[in-house]
Amino acid sequence: MRFDVLTLFPDLFGPFRATGVLGRAVETGLVEIVTHDLRDWADNRWRQVDDEPYGGGAGMVIQAPPVLAAIRDIVAGRPGRTVMLSPRGRLFDQQVADELAGESRVLLVCGRYEGIDERVAEILQPDEISVGDFVLGGGEVAAMVVIEAVTRLLPGVVGDPESVAADSFFDGLLDHPAYTRPPEVEGHEVPDVLRSGNHEAVRRWRLERAVTATVTRRPDLINRHWDRYPHEVRELVRRLGGGPDGDLGTGDSREAT
């Protein structure tokens, strides 16, 4: 899979694409990340691509002509999805990550300052995506979030596919608690079931803790994914006082056993 990133700060992606699981995916050719400096499409010798906003106000706005020219050059003859990182876009979540993982190529357009001239969205109608309701200095960190989440879903990127399937949000639940050595830390011991060797008991314990965490901490996920849950998960949710139509997270919040 190929990611193209249109940005004013391409150097930010150097260490990112050379580190960890993503770095190995790039090194082995499973993933390609190509950055493009928006200033290369400036039409002036100062390489300026921003200007003052019409109507006045603080800050600068990225001009439409260089962005339009850059996107058209980058995607020319190479099909794929163009994504503009924008606070007004649809919320990025695991389902959107899975959707993008089905593409062979994604172009991520990173804004800066007060944003990108509205006419880029009007003319090209890109897929606008937001990584959350908070303010960032630009779209670069958001682009990294998208790349990281999507890359993990690609075949062969993560060594153990089961670790992807067990990730938080993958199946509409938060992840279960994780423990490692030593078995006791400041009086807190690893639950006995995890050292029992009983694989079914471990599976059930982990599922119960995942459901408990989701009902008590992120009840919104229950409503969103209810139709996807198997019967076993729905029964655990109901035991904890949750459900798609109930007052989620306010019932019996004791841990399932």
Query: Which of the following is catalytic: 53, 87, 177, 244?
Result: 87
CB-count burial class (<10 Å; 0-12, 13-18, 19+) for 130: middle
- The two most distant CA atoms of the chain are separated, in Å, by 69
For the chain, report the end-to-end CA distance as a whole number of angstroms. 43
Query: Any catalytic annotation for residue 171?
Result: no
Annotation marks residue 87 as catalytic: yes
The helix (H) or strand (E) run that includes residue 50 is strand 50-51
40 is catalytic: no
Q: Does residue 90 sit in helix, strand or coil?
A: strand
Choosing from 37, 93, 127, 167, the catalytic residue is 167
Q: Catalytic pick from 152, 208, 209, 219? A: 152
Q: Looking at 37, 40, 99, 114, which residue is catalytic?
A: 114
**Helix axis angle, 20-27 relative to 140-151, nearest 10°?**
70
Q: Does residue 98 carry a catalytic annotation?
A: no
Please say whether the beta carbons of 31 and 151 come within 8 A.
Answer: yes
Active site residues: 87, 114, 152, 167
